[in-house]
Structure 1
Amino acid sequence: MEDILRKFCAYGMEYKDHEGYTRDLVTLLPTIQLAYNTSKHPTTGKTPAVVEKGWNPLLPVDHLKKNFLIIHPTAKDFHDMWKRACDTAATCIAEEKEYNKQRWDNTHL
């Protein structure tokens, strides 16, 4: 988790909602933590949430109605920020896994 946060901070990622307010790492930290806890890890093959609690929490996307026509702009902006943060976290996790694999391969092969 520490490496993911370090990478996220290094990119200086900031998101703006529809009103122009900037959302920084502090605002998105719960999102990053949830993305980390609900993504599979190569060592266990399970998510940390399943390992710790035995179940994955419901994500906000699980609560969105697929046929809902009118969505409040703030909710849509948060959903978009959430999606970008999850994608960024997934990318960071993939990069970290590849880095650790290469590091292990270099020292053990």
Structure 2
Amino acid sequence: MHLGPIFIDFFGTNLSFSTAYHPQTDGLAKRMIQALEDMIKRFCTYGFTNYWLTLIPELRLEYRKSVHSSTGQTPDMLEEGWNSRLPADILRKDLIEIYPEDSSFKLFLDEVKNNAKKRMNDAF
């Protein structure tokens, strides 16, 4: 059983085929795989070795909620325009946001994406 296609489908990423040693696509996949491996290793260290595969949904949520150093944003913010919340987050009244009207929300999302692109361009 190959887990690569399962992870790619589950995380909703696009698989890009390229020539060998093509850095534009190699780095993205390697970084995501490295992050997932690190997360799985941590869970296995705490005794979850027999059922780590059942923890993938929680790992996915944590990955999508984490701020990435290259963009300065979470994947959820870049793709959806907001960060995922857990039920415990919603119970805190200070975290509840009032969503703006569509036009201002689109401007906000464009600004977030432009800032992430700028940070990535500055890194290279």
Same fold (TM over 0.5): no
TM-score scaled by length of structure 1: 0.43
How high is the TM-score relative to the length of structure 2? Answer: 0.39
* Higher relative contact order structure (alpha carbons within 8 Å, sequence separation ≥ 6): 1
